[in-house]
Every structure is written in structure tokens, then in C-alpha cells.
């Protein structure tokens, strides 16, 4: 089975885009990540990751309309592609399989 490699940060960004739905662009993704994870996220790394995900065809993008508050500059909105969804599902499935494979005693030991 062909594995798509998704880094941790990539996975999080991809997920966030999925969460934000139609309003996903670099700014909202950064802010959402900060709020959800509580860690300070560099804007440039989010931007670069979005670009890389698009190159891998996990995301698609299109330019939005002109906006006044940005000095007329347009936003680039991202959406998760079918391939992206599949990748996310795969990652989730692998995790679940791993969780499921965890023996019950160990779970208890870990206090879960």
C-alpha cells in the first residue's frame, strides 16, 4: 500500500483547513492553530506548509475577491482535496489501529 507521508505539523494544518471549511486561508489557519493548540505558530511556517500541501495535491486553492482592509489584496482560500481527505483518513486509521493494538493493561497503567 502506497503510504503518503504527512508530517505532524502538516497533519495539523491540513486538519485545521478542514475544520475552517470555506474560510480557510493562511491568517485564519494560523490564528485557529494558536487558539486550539495554545502554542505560538509562526505565520511563515503555516504559509510554507500550505504551499507544500498544495504542491502535494492535498489542498487546492483559489483566489478570493478583493478586500478593503487588506489594501485591495485578494486572499488565497484553501480547501482539502479528495487526496487530502484520504490522507487524513489514513493517518487517523493508523492511529486508531495503533490505539486498538494497545493491550488493556498498558492502558490502565497509563491511567487512561
Binding residues for other proteins, per CB under 8 A?
A: 25-27, 30-31, 42-45, 47, 51, 63, 67, 69-71, 73-76
Q: Which string of DSSP letters, residue by residue, matches 29-85? A: HHHHHHHHH-S---HHHHHHHHHHHHHTTSEEEEEEEE-TTTTTPEEEEEEE-HHHH
Could you tell me if 101 and 28 are in contact, meaning their C-beta atoms sit under 8 angstroms apart? no
Q: Which is nearer to other proteins, 4 or 48 (CB)?
A: 48
Could you tell me if 88 and 106 are in contact, meaning their C-beta atoms sit under 8 angstroms apart? no
Q: Which is nearer to other proteins, 36 or 70 (CB)?
A: 70
Task: State the minimum distance, in angstroms, from the CB of residue 61 to other proteins.
Answer: 9
Task: State the minimum distance, in angstroms, from the CB of residue 70 to other proteins.
Answer: 4
Task: State the minimum distance, in angstroms, from the CB of residue 67 to other proteins.
Answer: 7
Amino acid at each position: 500500500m502506497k503510504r503518503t507521508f504527512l508530517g505532524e505539523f502538516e497533519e495539523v494544518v491540513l486538519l485545521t483547513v478542514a475544520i475552517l471549511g470555506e474560510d480557510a486561508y493562511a491568517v485564519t489557519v494560523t490564528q485557529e492553530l494558536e487558539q486550539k493548540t495554545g502554542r505560538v505558530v509562526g505565520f511563515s511556517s503555516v504559509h510554507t506548509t500550505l504551499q507544500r500541501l498544495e504542491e502535494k495535491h492535498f489542498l487546492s486553492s483559489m483566489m478570493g475577491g478583493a478586500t478593503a482592509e487588506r489594501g485591495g489584496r485578494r486572499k488565497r482560500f484553501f480547501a482539502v482535496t479528495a487526496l487530502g481527505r484520504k490522507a487524513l483518513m489514513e493517518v487517523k486509521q493508523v492511529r486508531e489501529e495503533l490505539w486498538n493494538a494497545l493491550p488493556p493493561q498498558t492502558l490502565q497503567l497509563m491511567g487512561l
